[in-house]
Amino acid sequence: MKTLMLVRHAKSDWGEPGLADHDRPLNARGLRDAPEMGRRLRERGVIPDMIVSSTALRARTTARLIAGGLGLDEASVMLDDRLYGSSPATILRVIGELGGENDRVMLVAHNPGVSEFAGDLTGSHRDLPTCAVVGMDFDIDEWAEIEFEPPVDSRFDAPRS
């Protein structure tokens, strides 16, 4: 059994005109919501073995704050530049390369790709709000099998839920 947690990065700050998109930080709400989502997951006993994040500042900050809320070290976050502006096909490729040793994986990325990918897997298409978490359980042994097996269970949580 494998558990995938897809996370849309927390709310970002648009207050600095001219700042490159990749360098946008989180705003105050994002800085508050990300550790809260980590705490919620920890309270449910849902702690990932691995966190993989986009390299964008807002995504990697979200991942590190969630890790802190989970009681994990910030160093537990791996960065993958392919997740910045990624399509569902790219997200699938990143997950498929994870092998089989980690049973619980969290992936932090961006819209529209992360929402589309979650919808492709669950069959429930919705635009994920910022810092939302979609958790899915798969009856698979290797992450590469995710392409061929629908989840046996899925859950949704967002800061305002």
The span from the CA of 33 to the CA of 40, in Å, is: 11
Phi, then psi, of 52 in degrees rounded to 5: -120, 130
User: Is 160 assigned to a binding site?
Assistant: no
Give ∠ CA 144-120-67 in degrees, rounded to 5.
Answer: 65
Pairing label, strands 2-8, 133-138: antiparallel
The span from the CA of 106 to the CA of 133, in Å, is: 9
Contacts for 83 with CB less than 8 Å, ≥ 6 apart: 52, 53, 54, 55, 59, 90, 91, 94, 107, 108, 109, 110
Name the binding residues. 58
Name the binding residues for substrate. 58
